[in-house]
């Protein structure tokens, strides 16, 4: 069933779509919510117990602060891509959708990794510790779901793209990924990026366990850098500079031997 203009105005008791602030369509057998593209002022949307499979229309609701989607047909966490640019979104209820999978921890970490401004997820408050953990354990969604064909004049979203698929290309080359993370830190500290031939610490001989540990440390550092002011960053810059000089001297001594 399609959510129509008439249904929206009736349920919201409004005369114009632009004036709608709250919309409750719980258990209405909805599958098409494209009308949400025409709700610029909407703040709260309740769509629980329906058949919604795509969140693309909601990406246009820039004033949205609460979104309830429990028990729908959202098959891929890649649909979160459409919520990443909603600056006011603080409450999301996504439980009991196929995209939640069989690992609730991985699901929660992935949602918080991509929507770090959430204050409540699935009726459970979000903690600062969870947000830090999500940077390490959650999967980052970097693109929208793959489009396959059309339905009712609109592109149909494929449910086959999972979060792990979107990250596969980046993770396929651990060397490039680690260099990228390290150079992000160096850039924030005003330092020149390392070149591949100088990045000897990321050797192919490095184990998966040590590489994962290194990436976790880098992610934690990136999170902490966001909390520092100019003075704090300057201290980090000086410390890193001294550390690099010491490591380079050690490398030169080892080469001489």
State the pTM of this model. Answer: 0.61
The whole-number pLDDT of residue 117 equals 96
Q: For residue range 178-199, what is the model confidence (pLDDT) as tens digits? A: 556 566 666 656 666 666 554 4
Cα 108 to Cα 184: distance, rounded to the nearest angstrom: 26
Residue 128 pLDDT level (bands cut at 50, 70, 90):
very high
Greater model confidence, 253 or 171:
253
Q: What is the DSSP string of 143-180?
A: SPPPEEEEETTEEEEPS---HHHHHHHHHT-HHHHHHH
Q: Worst-scoring range by mean pLDDT, 125-129, 177-181, 186-190, 224-228?
A: 177-181
The whole-number pLDDT of residue 171 equals 41
Q: How large is the average pLDDT for residues 73-90?
A: 97
The torsion angles phi and psi of 16, rounded to 5 degrees, stand at -140, 145
Q: Worst-scoring range by mean pLDDT, 36-40, 102-106, 173-177, 226-230?
A: 173-177
Q: For residue range 2-31, what is the model confidence (pLDDT) as tens digits? A: 999 999 999 999 999 999 999 999 999 999
pLDDT at 147 over 70: no
Do the Cβ atoms of 29 and 132 come closer than 8 Å? no
The residue among 165, 160, 164, 134 whose CA lies nearest residue 149 is: 160
pLDDT at 216 over 70: no
**Average model confidence (pLDDT) for the chain?**
80
The whole-number pLDDT of residue 206 equals 47
Domains along the sequence of the chain with CATH: 5-137 (3.80.10.10), 217-255 (no CATH)
The whole-number pLDDT of residue 249 equals 75
Greater model confidence, 57 or 168:
57
Phi/psi-derived region of residue 148, left when phi > 0, alpha when psi is between -120 and 50, beta in every other case: beta
The whole-number pLDDT of residue 191 equals 63
């Amino acid at each position: 069933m399609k959510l129509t203009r008439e249904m929206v105005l009736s349920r919201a008791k409004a005369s114009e779509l632009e004036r709608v602030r709250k919309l409750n369509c719980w258990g209405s057998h909805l599958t098409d919510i494209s009308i949400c593209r025409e709700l610029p002022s909407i703040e709260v949307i309740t769509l629980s117990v329906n058949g919604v499979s795509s969140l693309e229309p909601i990406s246009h609701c820039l004033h949205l602060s609460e979104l309830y989607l429990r028990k729908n047909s959202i098959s891929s966490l890649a649909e979160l891509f459409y919520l990443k640019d909603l600056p006011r979104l603080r409450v999301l209820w996504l439980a009991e959708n196929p995209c939640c999978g069989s690992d609730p921890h991985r699901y929660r970490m992935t949602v918080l990794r991509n929507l770090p401004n959430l204050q409540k997820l699935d009726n459970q408050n979000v903690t600062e510790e969870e947000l830090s953990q999500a940077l390490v354990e959650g999967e980052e969604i970097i693109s929208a779901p793959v489009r396959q064909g059309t339905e009712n004049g609109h592109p149909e979203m494929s449910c086959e793209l999972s979060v792990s698929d979107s990250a596969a290309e980046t993770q396929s080359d651990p060397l490039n990924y680690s260099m990228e993370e390290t150079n992000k830190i160096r850039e924030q500290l005003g330092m020149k990026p390392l070149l591949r031939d100088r990045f000897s610490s990321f050797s192919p001989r490095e184990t998966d366990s040590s590489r994962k540990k290194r990436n976790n440390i880098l992610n934690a550092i990136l999170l902490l850098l966001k909390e520092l002011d100019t003075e704090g960053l300057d201290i980090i810059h000086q410390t890193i500079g001294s550390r690099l000089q010491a490591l380079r001297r050690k490398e030169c001594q080892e080469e001489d031997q």
